Structure 1
Amino acid sequence: MSESFFQPTLRTKRLAIGSTVFLAFTGMNAPAAVGFAQEKYHQYVISQPEYKRQYGSWSTLNIPEEFQVNAIHATLLNDGKVLIIAGSGNEKDNFKAGTFKTLLWDPVANTYKLIKTPADMFCSGHVSLADGRVLVAGGTLRYEVLKGDVTKAGGTMQVRNEDPNRPRKVPKGTVFVSPSGDEYVTNDDLTVPAASKVTKMVKNKLGVKAPKTVVVTAQQAVFVEARAKGKDKAVRKMTQFRVKGLTGNSGETLYGMAKAINFNKQDYQGIKAAYEFDPNTEMYVKVESMQYARWYPTLVQLADNKIMTVSGLDDTGYILGGQNETYDPKTRTWSPAATHYFPTYPALFLTADQKLFYSGSNGGYGPPTKGRVPGIWDYKKNTFTVVPGLRDANTRETSPSVLLPPAQDQKVMVLGGGKPGESKVSTAHTDIVDLSAQDPKFTAGPDLPAGGTRYLSAVIMPDDTVFTTGGSADYRGKHGSDILKAQTYHPSTNTFTRAADPTVGRDYHSEALLLPDGRVVTFGSNPLFGDKNDTLPPTFEKRIEIYTPAYLYQGGKRPEVTGGTTQTTRGASARFTTPDASKIATVRLMRPSSVTHVTDVQQRSIALNFTKTATGITTDIPKNPALVPSGWYMLFVTDKQGVPSVARWVHVK
């Protein structure tokens, strides 16, 4: 925090004068001593009670080495623990070794537990279910290989089945042989459906139409790689391949077709697997796999508790063309959903009228000119209504979006972002849309105080503000561009105010979320390089940093919720006991975060009407399931100074 944001007392003014004299003396003799003294003075300033009352403070938690993981995904569970998923953690050696990790952290007891992780959930999608379980879907089948590093020809093959009597299983490792004898190996299991029979009216030789049954070939795509190295293994025209070892009718009806097996860049590939994490058993449970493999998908809960799952790179490395699907937690099965194209990790928010709003924020994969325009998706009718006014719509990759508090206002804010790919261009613009308006459109919000920022984290707070922190000006922190700044956005005044500066840089693969005690925790960071000159290899940031907001330094006793409802239903009244009823100003239900790649479509804060009683408060839970999706919530009460209680967990059905 620069000193201009701190109003010194008489005591600190005197200290500053003394420090200036000391710095002047040491500056003539030892420049290193100057920096040391300045840092000491800075540490003194930020430790002062009056500073903390205005800006808050940060503390760093160093995790024991045996529990350190690359935090790619983070979800706050309904028992207050944090599920931190790494999978292979963007480490190829871990991927090759099958070393996949998940850490369960208890912030209260400060304990850690490694969870057995059955698949590479790196870059998966996830969301909390209505009963508190966490659905994790997709992940990594194969790491990318850059064009210059590709040593074996690879590409997509369509495996075709002409047999109408049976589907055909094609196990991982199946070998397809070209007419010249070159062999290509599949990288995943797939099942090709049986061919279908269609009856058509066809003219015979006499010109008379008669029914004729035609077999329509079924096909599924799979990535294949040449067994041997060599430029001569590339395929540049449509070629048919036989399955090695299959003969007779089996070999004639099952075969491969491909026209582009080459040495181009081979992108990341997704998996179809899905799991539920159970907070009670602290274990993953495998559920039915998705129909489509997904890497970088978004999962969002609908009003009927089903989970809409969209986008992602498939198991051949191509972005899906709009093949979305829903998960039913009751049956643990997947079903096809309305088709609409989104870039990867799109920010989708469930609106009060049971539609999905796409803000324009996304994870980046996909054509730079496709799917970047915000709009309201009526997934029941499969219509998409463009919402105009978003500035720099092509500069919103790696930007966060937030359903501003309270959720009843139906306002969404987009903050910063960057141009597609590895561009150094980022934007400081924020834009806000009121979805309750008759014709919603974005209007300009205040610029980010730190300037152009991508990978910014944004967290809804119990006092109806939004805390933002971290990010970088350039792609993945290039040129030492991490931004060690934090600020608080106030929806009531449409302004930012300064917060204490973090000490740990956070860019790609970083997360932030609200804890039940009202603090904010930040994880991860995966810069492209390890120095400002972009010459040293990077180090994944494993430290956890915790922000204690200014509202926890206001002095006096913070309000308490000492008892009351733990289970309730929409439309019902809920009662809570508190000795502080007379000073309570607001009551909020806050959905815990499930965040990755600064995409957090789950967090929302719902204002509750309440009345005060002799022993506590009585609240009304809104009836609308699209405003209050079923699930576990943190109930916070705040006093007239905006100081929140420690949250009480409430299950809304």
Structure 2
Amino acid sequence: MRHHYCLLFIGFGLSSLAQAQGNNPLTGNVLVRNAYQNNSLLAETSIELQPGFSVDAPGFSAAIGRPYAQGGQWRGVYNWPIVGIHTHVLPSGKVLTWQGHNDNSHGHTGVYDWDPATNALNLLQTVHDNIFCSGHTLLPDGRLFVAGGHDRYYESVTPQPNPPDPDNPFNVTYIGGLKLTYTYDYSRPVATAWQQQTDMKRNRWYPTTTVLGNGSVLSVSGETEPIIVMNAQDQNRYRPELWQNGGWSWLMNADRERRLPLYPMMFLAPDGRVFNAGPNKLTGYIDVVNGGTWTDGPEHQLGAAVPPVGDANRYFHGAHHEGTAVMYEPGKILVIGGSGAGGVTNTVERINLNDATPQFQYDASMAYPRAHVNSTVLPDGSVLVTGGIPNGDKRDIDAILPAEMWTPPASGSGPGSWTTLNPMGEPRLYHSTAVLLPDGRVLSAGGGHGGGYTDHPTAEVFSPPYLFKGPRPEISYAPATTSYGQPFAFNSPTPGQIDAVTWIRLSSVTHSFNMNQRFLRLPITARTGTSVTVTAPASPNDCPPGHYMVFALRNGVPSEARIVSISNNPCAASISLTTSISQYSCGATATADVSGSNLGGSYRWYLNGVHQPAFDGQPSAVAQLTNCASQAAFAVEVIPACGGAPLTASQTVSAGPFGQGGTLCACE
């Protein structure tokens, strides 16, 4: 019986090696590598080798991997013009990605989109700010929400901030963040897709953003400006803030001295609070409804029992820094790998926030210690772990190339199990990303561009084992929208063969943490000869409003996804535009004012059909009328506070002619 095996060769002499083994070329097998060397894989080749084959020679390492149905298959490596540090899956199914700049000399960011169907990567637009190391998530209406970024290095901060500068090895001395907030609307023309929103209250570099059950966004952590951190009397230096109705507000009840790590692992919990799952040892809940009140949570099992100097509460330090975390079921979280005082770990901890007294417990450990690692929840409920390094040496040669997959326990409780999968083609270390695609594959990109790591401006795609285990079911139609707790049906040519339906929020990931992904199972309630009916999640705390991939499964094999958005019944939003004129000797000022209900703050103004960015974000606009231009046609567009289609209103005003003493004023 022949098997398709995954193999790794590095060096020269592929054909002679195959001949030496007495094997003829066959189609369907891919050469992959056991361990990374500084030279590149020469080519993908078709050969057949016998089980047990291995070879080691200087600059050369090869062995038979697992059959694709057990170990999955990597494809690529594709050359990109950037390191994919920030990567997002949009409701269109395309992937948005950018790198940004790790220095003081750039104030712009080139943003690209990648099409999984064609493998085409295109430069979309340049954002005129450095959104490197920003926080991001997807809003209920599908817009990508981006907060903060990189302002500059402060190379002489005196005295040192109190408490001391966060122990981030990638800082020169201190890095200042940006206040800026942007949205990217995939449905708009490229030229107008990026819109600047209201600034945050505080500069933030490495913040985490989390969408809440009502569609608002929590922003926590992130380095700001040294002058703020050095001022122990500043009441807001570590305070979180909330974005809602188009603006930011402080959470005034939050403990101003609760200093979280950079890019903390934050999850919306089933009770509506937001849970800080790490990487700090002492976790906690922030209650946004009550103004940001913090409640201490349980401690991680891993980590020193004695608090480090300067962090008596262990709000900042822990043993899972540079690790990853994922919510694999509502309220159930894995914290995976990372590093601390004890070095890089393969340890995994889990917690169930639905328990009466949630506590972290050790789960099964990975085969490899990993820092700078990514976790991706898959359509069958398993969790894929990719990339990472087992030490702090930053060398590509030490990179962990084999992926691993965690399978949850069949009983729903207790530890899961790990399976080692086939190795990727290039190291994916610091600044690498991984996202689930609507076709069920996983994009892995980036690595490097800072921190002393080698740049990898490349990407590759992983097909998990489930794509080699038989024919895929199909969803031929699904509705574009649904509401909480409501049934909805999708069409399929084989509805009787579908035994499970899963629901996965689109990805938005950077620095080993996906700020947007969630996983739920949808109960099947009815079938016909052409359709399957399921029930949408009932709670926005389990399922924040927004866009999700719906997968139909048959014996663990997923369909390609359909993307469906979920929200409460659209709110009753209304808009109207009123105008007024203030006349002077040779002209007049015309003013247009917006009023209405349930309006957000994303006003977009037009005058005589031309966009007027100077008035965007404001509820009013003005125009000057003269004898040369005596008419002004105002128009405004705004997205309702609860999402949905934009609302528009327009009014045309005119005045004149203008003159003095019976003489018309000159045209100006």
Taking structure 2 as the reference length, what is the TM-score of the superposition? 0.68
**Does 1:595 find its partner at 2:519?**
no
**Does 1:58 find its partner at 2:74?**
yes
Q: How does 1:395-414 map to 2 (within 5 A)?
A: 395-404=319-328, 406-407=329-330, 410-414=331-335
The alignment partner of 1:582 has SS state of: helix
Match of 2:545 in 1: 630
Alpha-carbon distance in 1 for matches of 2:195, 2:152:
23
**Paired residue for 1:460, among 377, 381, 400?**
377
Alpha-carbon distance in 1 for matches of 2:539, 2:106:
48
Match of 1:138 in 2: 148
**Matched residue type, 2:321:** E
Alpha-carbon distance in 2 for matches of 1:109, 1:402:
29
**Matched residue type, 1:81:** K
Q: How does 1:102-141 map to 2 (within 5 A)?
A: 102-114=111-123, 115-141=125-151
Query: Cα–Cα, structure 1 residues 125 and 44, in superposed 2: closer, same or farther, change >3 Å?
Result: farther
**Matched residue type, 1:402:** V
Alpha-carbon distance in 1 for matches of 2:227, 2:86:
21
Gaps (5+ residues) in structure 1? 8-14, 23-34, 158-263, 362-370, 530-536
Query: Cα–Cα, structure 1 residues 612 and 322, in superposed 2: closer, same or farther, change >3 Å?
Result: same
C-alpha contact (below 8 Å) 2:478/2:562 kept by paired residues: no
C-alpha contact (below 8 Å) 1:269/1:315 kept by paired residues: yes
How far the C-alpha of 1:102 sits from its partner, in A, is: 1.3
Match of 1:326 in 2: 242
How far the C-alpha of 1:316 sits from its partner, in A, is: 2.5
How far the C-alpha of 1:513 sits from its partner, in A, is: 0.5
**Matched residue type, 1:481:** D
Match of 1:266 in 2: 173
Q: Tell me the matched-pair count.
A: 488
The alignment partner of 2:112 has SS state of: strand
**Matched residue type, 1:516:** P
C-alpha contact (below 8 Å) 1:303/1:354 kept by paired residues: yes
**Matched residue type, 2:324:** P
How far the C-alpha of 1:628 sits from its partner, in A, is: 1.3
The alignment partner of 1:299 has SS state of: strand
CA deviations 1:211-260 (Å, max 9, x no partner) are: xxxxxxxxxxxxxxxxxxxxxxxxxxxxxxxxxxxxxxxxxxxxxxxxxx
Gaps (5+ residues) in structure 2? 8-15, 24-38, 50-61, 162-170, 230-235, 305-317, 411-415, 568-668
How far the C-alpha of 1:475 sits from its partner, in A, is: 2.7
Alpha-carbon distance in 2 for matches of 1:527, 1:272:
23
Alpha-carbon distance in 2 for matches of 1:437, 1:105:
41
C-alpha contact (below 8 Å) 1:269/1:317 kept by paired residues: no
Percent identity among equivalent residues? 28
The alignment partner of 1:413 has SS state of: strand
**Paired residue for 1:312, among 192, 210, 222?**
222
RMSD: 3.4
Match of 1:86 in 2: 99
Match of 2:254 in 1: 339
**Matched residue type, 2:195:** V
C-alpha contact (below 8 Å) 1:154/1:266 kept by paired residues: no
C-alpha contact (below 8 Å) 2:153/2:172 kept by paired residues: no
Alpha-carbon distance in 1 for matches of 2:504, 2:461:
19
Alpha-carbon distance in 2 for matches of 1:511, 1:526:
11
How far the C-alpha of 1:18 sits from its partner, in A, is: 7.3
**Does 1:475 find its partner at 2:386?**
no
**Matched residue type, 1:482:** A
**Matched residue type, 2:366:** L
**Paired residue for 1:379, among 285, 288, 291?**
288
C-alpha contact (below 8 Å) 1:19/1:41 kept by paired residues: no
Q: How does 1:31-46 map to 2 (within 5 A)?
A: 44=48
Alpha-carbon distance in 1 for matches of 2:63, 2:389:
26
Q: How does 1:23-422 map to 2 (within 5 A)?
A: 44=48, 51-63=67-79, 68-88=81-101, 90=102, 92=103, 95-114=104-123, 115-143=125-153, 145=155, 266-281=173-188, 282=190, 283-316=193-226, 321-328=237-244, 331-337=245-251, 338-340=253-255, 341=258, 342-361=260-279, 372-381=281-290, 382-392=293-303, 394-404=318-328, 406-407=329-330, 410-419=331-340
CA deviations 1:80-136 (Å, max 9, x no partner) are: 111102121x2x3xx414352211111113222222212000111111000000111
Taking structure 1 as the reference length, what is the TM-score of the superposition? 0.69
The alignment partner of 1:327 has SS state of: strand
CA deviations 1:257-314 (Å, max 9, x no partner) are: xxxxxxx963111011111111112421011100100000000011111000001100
Higher helix share: 1
Alpha-carbon distance in 2 for matches of 1:541, 1:38:
17
**Matched residue type, 2:128:** P
The alignment partner of 2:68 has SS state of: helix
Alpha-carbon distance in 2 for matches of 1:497, 1:403:
19
CA deviations 1:512-569 (Å, max 9, x no partner) are: 010000000111111778xxxxxxx75410110110111111233x100001311111
**Matched residue type, 1:645:** S
Alpha-carbon distance in 2 for matches of 1:61, 1:129:
32
**Paired residue for 1:620, among 535, 544, 547?**
535
**Paired residue for 2:351, among 414, 428, 433?**
433
Q: How does 1:476-495 map to 2 (within 5 A)?
A: 477-478=394-395, 480-492=397-409, 494-495=416-417
